[in-house]
Amino acid sequence: MWASTSKYSNAALLGCLLLAASTGAAADAGQQPIELQLRPRVCTLADNDATCNTTVRAQWRSTKDESLCLVIVDQPHIRHCWEQHSEGLYSVEVAFSQDLVVQLRDTELDRVLASQAIAVIRKALQFRRKRRQPWSIFY
């Protein structure tokens, strides 16, 4: 009888621990991160293009008021900040040849709160091999 009581009390203890852990995880999940969206998402370079020249549109939203700055990695001259806003929109003309990383940081620029990238795709000449040989007797 003692062994079965001990077995049930261990199961109850384990259940309580799992419930407490899942409640803590749910509390952490309740805190919504800052949402950052970029347009365009991809820049395709033609064969003769060296850089993407485009207008980047960054839009962010938060569930609470934030003081933050939008920065473009590797282009420190581009920076736009907001004080106590829950959303923001910023457009800037940019030229880049590698993937462009846009970050939302705190006003001291110490912490990255959100990050997105615009991928650069280089259009390459594609050489395809024919699927069958021209001398096939079944052709």
Domain count within the chain: 2
Per-residue model confidence (pLDDT) at position 135: 66
Q: What is the mean pLDDT of residues 118-134?
A: 71
Residue 130 CB contacts under 8 Å (≥ 6 apart), including other chains: none
Tokens of 102: 């846009």
Asked whether residue 132 is domain-assigned, the answer is no
Do 19 and 36 lie in one domain? The reply is: no
- 62 CB neighbour count, 10 Å cutoff: 19
> Are 13 and 43 members of one domain?
no
Same domain membership, residue 113 and residue 50: yes
**Ranges 16-20, 98-102, 111-115, 132-136: which has the least confidence:** 16-20
Q: Answer positive or negative: Cα dihedral of 130, 131, 136, 139.
A: negative
Residue 131 lies in a domain: no
pLDDT digits over 2-59, tens only? Answer: 444 444 444 443 344 333 333 343 334 445 689 999 999 999 998 888 999 999 999 9
Which residues share a beta bridge with 34?
A: none
Three-state secondary structure call for residue 51: coil
| Whether residue 97 has pLDDT greater than 80 | yes
- Asked if 42 and 84 sit in the same domain, the reply is yes
The kind and range of the H/E element at 100 are strand 100-106
Q: Which domain holds residue 27?
A: 1-31
